[in-house]
Amino acid sequence: MALTAQMERYLQESHNDAKGIVKALCGIPAPSHHEEKRARWCEEWFKAAGGQKVYVDEALNAVCEHNVTDDNDVVVFMAHIDTVFPDTEPMPFVEKDGLFFSPGVTDDTGNLASLLIAERYILENRIQTTCGMVFVANSCEEGLGNLKGSRAIVARYGRRIREFVTVDGTRLERIVNGAVGSHRYRITVKTEGGHSFGAFGNRNAIACMASMISTLYSVKVPVDGESKTTYNVGVISGGTSVNTIAQDAEMLYEYRSTSRKCLLEMENMLEKVVEAYRATGIGVEVERIGDRPCTGEVDKAAHDALIEKARASIRRVLGKEAYLASSSTDANTPLSMGIPAICMGGAVGGKCHTREEWLDPESLLDGSRLLLDFMTNYFSVKG
Ligand SMILES: [Zn+2]
């Protein structure tokens, strides 16, 4: 259903509020696992918008339930409040040439603002819906947050979740319909080390680790014609001084894949490499620090129907054709459990995960139009 004149008027009148939400939230630091303050802010916002049942859960998700009974089906809408930046002091916010600049301003603050504006229409007007709606400003989407927020929501509502939509990214016409799964590790290599001159000949942990990295990089990723699999060593450290044979060295390693089977193959490969190095007598410790699931057994017809609704809204509101993509988002969690899920866009921006990140604040109007148009699919009375 298209947006009504009343909805369109509401959205235009709310455009400044959307910008205000972005400014307010950018002023509240929220590294993954430390989203308390932003969660409280969103809790207050949901209450002010007319939310009847609003709470912050143990995972630091701010949750607002609309028309949720003890056992009805629900649709979940979420956008994350955490940022990749560890800062605990407010980060700079600059307005220049019609753009907003601030770390996290698009990912995911701008998207959240568009979503909150769309949700407020439903709360304020007490819209009757065909299923319960669960609105979430969620924690721990980024990095080692490990999707803790979306995991808590999926664990709580389980099979009652009919459909799941997360709002993230930098483009309005993108629909993420596939999950990129990943495993992340801290791998530590230990040797006897010693004085660089006196103990020359002893094994050097840095040299061993360098060799291990070469081995990992000689691996051919699984190719099945459908999926994509990648790997990366992102950080290395180790050693003591220039005249010490290094006793330990450490790397952060990850592999990713859109296929469960390929992810498993990479896991087996890593085990073999680690075993081979251990067999030479050096110490190798492997700690898994991240685990994001791939898509599981999702009913194709139900998933396609959800994607089609998003496509239709993108066509109606933006006059554009959507494009599909796979990515690692909060939709990984429901997808891994067979629940139809997608990620939509609510804001236009760029340079995410850098301190030069920007947002086009004017895009929030189309973002909230798109999301409210999509939500009308769940309205009992159309129009
Ligand atoms: Zn994000």
The verdict on residue 383 lying in a domain is no
Task: Note the pLDDT of residue 87.
Answer: 87
Q: State the distance from the centre of ligand 1 to the C-alpha of 80, rounded, in angstroms.
A: 7
State the total domains in the chain: 2
Final residue of a domain: which of 257, 292, 327?
292
- Residue 207's pLDDT band, with cuts at 50, 70 and 90, is very high
Question: Is-contact 231 216, C-beta < 8 A?
Answer: yes
CATH number, domain of 194, equals: 3.30.70.360
Q: Does residue 382 have a pLDDT over 80?
A: no
For residue 181, the SS3 value is strand
Q: What is the mean pLDDT of residues 253-265?
A: 95
The verdict on residue 27 lying in a domain is: yes
Gap from CA of 169 to ligand 1 centroid (Å): 6
* pLDDT at position 276: 97
Compute the distance from residue 88 Cα to the ligand 1 centre, in Å: 19
Q: What is the number of helices (H) and of strands (E) in the chain?
A: 10, 18
Asked if residue 53 lies in contact with residue 67, where contact means CB atoms within 8 angstroms, the answer is: no
Ligand 1 center to 141 CA (angstroms): 7
229 within some domain:
yes
Cβ-proximal residues to 240 (8 Å cutoff; 6+ apart), any chain: 193, 246, 247
**What pLDDT does 2 receive?**
86
Judge whether 326 and 169 are in contact, CB under 8 Å: no
CA distance 74 to 90: 35
State mean pLDDT over 136-162. 94
Other CB atoms within 10 A of residue 94 CB = 10
**Does 20 fall in a domain?**
yes
% of the chain exceeding 90 in pLDDT: 94
Distance 179 CA to ligand 1 centre (A): 14
**Does position 129 have pLDDT exceeding 80, yes or no?**
yes
Instruction: Kindly give the distance from the C-alpha atom of residue 244 to the centroid of ligand 1, in angstroms, as a whole number.
Output: 42
Residues 173 and 186 in one domain: no
Q: In which element (H, E) is residue 289 found? A: strand 283-292
Looking at the structure, tell me whether residues 275 and 286 fall in a common domain: yes
Report how far ligand 1's centroid is from the alpha carbon of 33 (Å). 15
Ligand 1 centroid from CA 328, angstroms: 9
Check pLDDT > 60 for residue 383: no
What separation in Å is there between the alpha carbon of 287 and the centre of ligand 1? 25
Task: Calculate how far, in angstroms, residue 366's C-alpha sits from the geometric centre of ligand 1.
Answer: 19
Distance from Cα 84 to the centre of ligand 1, integer Å: 9
What's the pLDDT at 39? Answer: 98
User: Phi, psi (5° rounding) for residue 196?
Assistant: -65, -30
Q: Could you read off the pLDDT of 341-381 as tens digits, one per residue?
A: 999 999 999 999 999 999 999 999 999 999 999 999 999 98
- pLDDT, average across residues 39-48: 98
Mean pLDDT value of segment 170-189? 97
Ligand 1 centroid, distance to 329 Cα (angstroms): 7
Q: What angle do CA 230, 232, 235 make, to 5 degrees?
A: 165
Task: Give the distance (Å) from ligand 1 centre to CA of residue 45.
Answer: 21
The pLDDT of residue 321 is 98
Region 15-22: what's the mean pLDDT? 98
200 shares a domain with 173:
no
Burial class (CB in 10 A: 0-12, 13-18, 19+), 338: middle
In which order are the strands placed within the sheet that holds 174-179? 53-56, 62-66, 132-138, 74-80, 161-167, 341-344, 174-179, 323-327
Asked whether 129 and 122 are in contact (CB, 8 A), the reply is yes
CA of 9 to the centre of ligand 1 (A): 29
Which residues fall within 8 angstroms of residue 347, CB to CB, at 6 or more apart? 106, 110, 111, 113, 114, 170, 172, 359, 360, 363, 364, 367
Model pLDDT, residue 104: 95
* 50-102 confidence digits (pLDDT tens): 999 999 999 999 999 999 999 999 999 999 999 998 888 988 999 999 999 99
Measured CA to CA, the distance from residue 310 to residue 316 in angstroms comes to 10
**Distance in angstroms (rounded) separating the CA atoms of residues 314 and 243:** 62
In this structure, the answer to whether residues 220 and 235 fall within a common structural domain is yes
Using CA atoms, how far apart are residues 117 and 375, in angstroms rounded to an integer? 12
- Smallest CA-to-CA distance from 372 within 7, 43, 6 is with 7
122, part of any domain:
yes
56 Cα–ligand 1 center, Å = 20
How remote is the CA of residue 146 from the centroid of ligand 1, in Å?
12
Ligand 1 centre distance from Cα of residue 82 (Å): 8
55 Cα–ligand 1 center, Å: 22
Cβ-contact 211, 249 below 8 angstroms: no
Mean pLDDT of the chain: 96
| pLDDT mean over 34-38 | 96
**Which residues constitute the domain of residue 70?**
5-179+294-378
Q: How far is the CA of 322 from the centre of ligand 1 (A)?
A: 19
On whether both 172 and 48 belong to a single domain, the answer is yes
Asked which of 292, 314, 330 is the last residue of a domain, the reply is 292
pLDDT of 303 strictly over 60: yes
pTM beyond 0.85: yes
Distance 350 CA to ligand 1 centre (A): 12
Whether the pLDDT of residue 273 is over 80: the answer is yes
- The 8-class DSSP code of residue 2 comes to P
Give ∠ CA 146-333-294 in degrees, rounded to 5: 90
Q: What is the CA radius of gyration of the chain?
A: 23
Q: Which of 292, 321, 355 delimits the end of a domain?
A: 292
In this predicted structure, the answer to whether residue 169 has a pLDDT above a threshold of 60 is yes
Judge whether 93 and 26 are in contact, CB under 8 Å.
yes
Kindly state the average pLDDT of the residues 314-338.
96
| CA distance readout (Å), 1 to 28, 56, 99, 141, 293 | 36, 32, 32, 31, 34
Residues 138 and 14 in one domain: yes
CA–centroid distance, residue 230 to ligand 1 (Å): 20
Distance 108 CA to ligand 1 centre (A): 5
Q: In this structure, are 57 and 97 located in the same domain?
A: yes
